[in-house]
């Protein structure tokens, strides 16, 4: 056991974020590592038991964290994002959820051996996937936009629906089995659900109005949103258990569709908080499980139930609910397979296990075991298979990591040519059709549009590209593009051309302090790079090997050459910049912008050969 609760809080955070980092470093499913870490720290080795150690605070902490995570997820649900996908999303979240509830309840009764009452409660709960498990999976896999958006929308929308279905099933059961049936509880349930939705909408509208009118200062906006989310969740949940999830989802969707710039500014901050909470909650929930619960998972009835839920109930509900939609067969197969259960299922199942046991249903004692069995098996199976499965179905973005270049000019066109020659994906973006003319003639993939416009956000697929290079002639615009996309691409993957000029400029010094990393050591401005291209400089590839190491290459290269990037055999690109030290290893290829010394030498040799040939022919001719 740990020496104190404070130490346990620190350990939970360390284990959660450590699991996330290991998952990122080794390209593994984060939710799988977090689950295994929690099990090892809790029931296996007995280091921590958060439920026991935190006492009465345990459940409120979990509930508030789930509310914030669900709100953050719903904050991304802009209706503009699902243009053309509205019908499949609606069907999956309604018809699909209903079919999954009925089929899951039948499976729970006939396979897991639960009574009808408990089966219908647990069947409603198990339709949820949720942002706590879907978002990490989408981050690790490179799904194409259509299936990724459908999975995200389904996970967030169905989360509160599943909890409400479970509550509804319980209220129906309580009504039907009562000695003197009273419809007041059912009326309260429906009234509380409507109130929760209205409350969430009102809180979202209210916060949006206060942001737009300046009634909340910038430094208080994020704290104010957090408090209102907790208020919204708690007020609805106190009236009727689990309606709080519906309230925060309605609040997030309302704010997401108001088009408020302040919400965009807060979104990335909330994503970071959400990742921290997901990491901590997964560790807490799995570490609080009992050894008996883990052993019960291997009961044949529970394993049979889990297998049918994964391989029959989910695929059947997806295929039936998406009939006559424009989803392809491969998309239906992928959606029918990917349905991991997560935090909401684990937390809400504990609540129903208690109230059903108190109501006299003895089989409710295995709800926690059944829930964890489904959560763990789906998390492991879907976490490890989503990338491979999507690739086999041609629904993943294949190929090497690509580069998105903003700005079409002489240098960027040649840069794109060199990346294309190295078989690295590249896309050139510019708002001017005329500036893109040479790119079109050179056969370079391009996108005609303003990089910072809302239309580009919804029409440009940025998934295949891990690097962004801003190389327009406007340095402040380059900095703005880098700042905008830094949260999406990461600080180390966003670059801009040097804002420095030979004559110096104080405004450029200011621009230098914001935005992405400066390319090529900062000595080569866009004007300099374009001039070098016009002067005949060429893009040269040099293979680094054990016989010709990088150190020797630096010693022998032309002093006027500019190092651009190195590329590994895997296709990973490393751009040379002031802030990042690049050390190419044997097997890597270094690409540089080099004076045409070798080319001039070859031309000179060719001319000499032609002169020699001509002279020899003249000498051989008879006089």
pLDDT of amino acid 30: 76
pLDDT of amino acid 8: 92
Report residue 265: phi and psi, to 5°.
-65, -35
Q: Are residues 475 and 577 in the same domain?
A: yes
pLDDT of amino acid 167: 80
- The answer to whether position 75 is within a domain reads yes
Q: If you compute the radius of gyration of the chain from its CA atoms, what whole number of angstroms results?
A: 30
**Tokens linked to 206:** 């209210």
pLDDT of amino acid 232: 94
- The answer to whether position 618 is within a domain reads no
Q: How far from each other are the two terminal CA atoms of the chain, in whole angstroms?
A: 108
Name the domain count of the chain. Answer: 2
- Residues ≥6 apart with Cβ < 8 Å to 127: 97, 100, 101, 104, 158, 161, 162, 165
CA dihedral of 171, 59, 35, 129, whole degrees rounded to 10: 30
Q: Are residues 347 and 412 in the same domain?
A: no
**Mapped to the 3 state alphabet, what secondary structure does 315-370 carry?**
HHHHHHHCCCCCCCHHHHHHHHHCCCCCHHHHHHHHHHHHHHHHCCCHHHHHHHHH
Q: Are residues 496 and 378 in the same domain?
A: no
The SS3 assignment for 41 reads: helix
Q: Are residues 377 and 415 in the same domain?
A: no
Average confidence (pLDDT) per 10 residues, the chain, 623 residues: 86 92 79 86 90 88 85 76 75 91 92 88 84 72 82 82 81 74 78 92 92 85 89 92 86 84 66 80 86 83 92 94 90 91 76 80 84 86 86 78 89 90 87 88 88 71 82 87 81 82 47 68 79 87 87 84 86 80 85 74 54 59 54
Q: Are residues 371 and 413 in the same domain?
A: no
pLDDT of amino acid 263: 67
- The answer to whether position 598 is within a domain reads yes
Q: Are residues 471 and 586 in the same domain?
A: yes
Q: Are residues 413 and 381 in the same domain?
A: no
Q: Are residues 368 and 432 in the same domain?
A: no
Residue 536 belongs to domain spanning:
402-605
Strands 446-448 and 517-518: unpaired
Q: Are residues 346 and 482 in the same domain?
A: no
CATH code for the domain of 155: 1.20.1530.20
pLDDT of amino acid 363: 83
Q: Are residues 472 and 573 in the same domain?
A: yes
The reported pTM is: 0.70
pLDDT of amino acid 506: 43
Report residue 182: phi and psi, to 5°.
-130, 120
pLDDT of amino acid 199: 95
Q: Where is the domain boundary, 366, 392, 418?
A: 392
Q: Are residues 362 and 491 in the same domain?
A: no
Strand ordering across the sheet containing 494-496 = 446-448, 426-430, 402-406, 465-470, 494-496, 517-518
CATH code for the domain of 509: 3.40.50.720
């Amino acid at each position: 056991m740990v020496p104190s609760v404070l130490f346990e809080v620190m350990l939970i955070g360390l284990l959660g974020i450590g699991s996330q980092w290991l998952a990122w470093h080794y390209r593994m499913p984060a939710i799988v590592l977090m689950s295994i870490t929690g099990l090892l720290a809790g029931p296996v080795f007995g280091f921590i038991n958060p439920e026991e150690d935190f006492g009465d605070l345990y459940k409120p902490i979990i509930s508030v964290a789930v509310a914030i995570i669900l709100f953050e997820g719903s904050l991304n649900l802009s209706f503009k994002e699902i243009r053309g996908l509205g019908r499949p999303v609606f069907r999956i979240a309604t018809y699909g959820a209903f079919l999954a509830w009925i089929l899951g309840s039948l499976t729970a009764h006939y396979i897991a051996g639960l009574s009808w009452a408990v089966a219908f409660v647990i069947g409603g709960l198990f339709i949820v996937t949720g942002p706590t498990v879907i978002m990490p999976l989408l981050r690790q896999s490179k799904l194409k936009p259509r299936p990724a958006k459908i999975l995200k929308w389904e996970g967030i929308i169905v989360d509160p629906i599943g909890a409400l279905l479970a509550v509804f099933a319980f209220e129906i059961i309580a009504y039907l089995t009562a000695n003197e049936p009273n419809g007041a509880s059912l009326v309260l349930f429906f009234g509380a659900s409507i109130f929760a939705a209205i409350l969430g909408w009102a809180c979202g509208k209210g916060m949006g109005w206060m942001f737009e009118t300046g009634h909340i200062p910038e430094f208080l906006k994020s704290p104010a949103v957090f408090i209102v989310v907790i208020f919204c969740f708690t007020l609805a949940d106190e009236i009727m258990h689990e309606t709080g999830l519906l309230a925060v989802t309605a609040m997030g969707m309302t704010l997401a569709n108001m088009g408020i710039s302040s919400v965009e500014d807060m979104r990335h901050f909330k994503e970071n908080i959400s990742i921290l909470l997901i990491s901590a909650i997964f560790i807490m929930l799995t570490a609080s499980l009992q050894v008996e619960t883990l052993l019960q998972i291997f009961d044949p009835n529970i394993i049979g139930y889990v297998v049918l839920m994964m391989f029959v109930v989910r695929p059947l509900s997806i295929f039936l609910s998406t009939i006559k939609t424009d989803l392809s067969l491969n998309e239906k197969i992928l959606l029918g397979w990917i349905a991991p259960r997560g935090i909401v299922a684990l937390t809400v199942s504990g609540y129903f296990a208690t109230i059903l046991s108190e109501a006299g249903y003895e089989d409710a004692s295995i709800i926690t075991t059944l829930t964890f069995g489904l959560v763990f098996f789906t998390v492991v199976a879907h976490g490890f298979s989503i990338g491979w499965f999507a690739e086999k179905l041609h629904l993943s973005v294949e190929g090497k990591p690509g580069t998105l270049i903003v700005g079409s000019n002489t240098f960027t066109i040649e840069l794109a040519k060199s990346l294309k020659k190295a078989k690295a994906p590249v896309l050139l973006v510019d708002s001017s059709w005329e500036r893109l003319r040479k790119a079109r003639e050179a056969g370079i993939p391009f996108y005609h549009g303003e990089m910072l416009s809302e239309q580009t956000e919804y029409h440009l697929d940025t998934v295949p590209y891990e690097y962004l290079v801003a190389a327009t002639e406007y340095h402040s615009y380059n900095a703005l593009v880098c700042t905008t996309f830094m949260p999406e691409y990461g600080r180390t993957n966003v670059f801009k051309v040097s804002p420095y000029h030979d004559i110096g400029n104080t405004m450029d010094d200011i621009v230098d302090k914001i935005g992405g990393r400066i390319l090529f050591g900062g000595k080569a401005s866009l004007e300099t790079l374009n001039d070098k291209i016009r002067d005949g400089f060429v893009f040269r590839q040099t293979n680094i090997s054990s016989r010709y190491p990088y150190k020797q290459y630096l010693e022998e290269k032309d002093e006027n050459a500019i190092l651009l990037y190195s590329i590994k055999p895997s296709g990973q690109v490393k751009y040379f910049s002031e802030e990042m030290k690049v050390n190419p290893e044997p097997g890597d290829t270094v690409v540089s912008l080099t004076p045409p010394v070798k080319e001039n030498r070859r031309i000179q040799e060719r001319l000499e050969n032609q002169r020699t040939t001509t002279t020899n022919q003249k000498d051989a001719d008879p006089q």
